[in-house]
Amino acid sequence: MSLSDTRLNLMEIPLPPQVLATGDQLGQLLRSTRKRLKLNQADIGVRLNLSQNRVSYLELHPEDLSVKQLLIWCAVLGLEVKLGGRRGGSLPLSKEGW
């Protein structure tokens, strides 16, 4: 079985939905999914037209991702972005956690 076959098999196993409340959680999800698929930062960079160093930075600082970059990154990893109402209502407008 080739590495690309392994990646395809892993992409067929869906992750359970993840509720993200902080930027750190987003970075952790992107990094852990990339590793689960046996992709390195350079692989992601090629698809996003970014250097490996920039991918590393964005995994640690996901608040600097553009929406376009996030959507492409998620597509590469087989993730989808869903938005919905927050349980318990909205949070105060501050940058804490982001």
Domain ranges of the chain: 21-77
The amino acid at 7: R
Best CATH choice for the domain 21-77 from the list 1.10.260, 1.10.30, 3.30.70, 1.10.10: 1.10.260
pTM score: 0.75
Nearest alpha carbon to residue 36 among 8, 58, 61: 8
What is the tens place of the pLDDT at every residue in 73-91? 999 999 999 888 877 766 6
What is the tens place of the pLDDT at every residue in 37-84? 999 999 999 999 999 999 999 999 999 999 999 999 999 999 999 888
- Whether the pLDDT of residue 11 is over 70: the answer is no
Residue 46 CA to residue 21 CA, distance in Å, equals: 28
